[in-house]
Amino acid sequence: MNTSNFTREELAQYILTTAKDVVIEKFIAILAKETVLHSIDGAPLTKADVQKELLAAEQEIAKGDYITSKELDQEIASWQ
C-alpha cells in the first residue's frame, strides 16, 4: 500500500488495524503541538498554551488581581 496517498478512510483503517503504538503516540504528539488559535499579536498557540494561559488567569482572579467593569469604566473615562 502506498502510504503517501492515503485517503482519510484508508488512514483511519491503517491506524485501527496496522499502526504500532509508537505511530499512534507520534500522531498524538503532533496533534498536541497543533495551533488552535493565535494571540493578539499573531503568535500561534497550542491547546497546552491556551490551558496554561487560562490557569494563570484563574490564579490571578483567585488572588484578587483583577479590576471590575465599573473600575474599568472609570479608568477609561479618565483617558478622555
pLDDT (tens digit, 9 = 90+) per residue, 15-70?
889 889 888 888 887 877 888 889 999 998 988 899 999 999 999 999 999 999 99
The C-alpha cell 494563570 sits at 56
pTM over 0.75: no
Radius of gyration of the chain (CA): 22
> Facing residues of 67 across strands?
none
| pLDDT given at position 77 | 94
pLDDT at 57: 95
d(CA 63, CA 57): 10
Backbone angles phi, psi at 13, to 5 degrees: -65, -40
What does the pLDDT read at residue 1? 53
Pairing of strands 35-38, 44-46: antiparallel
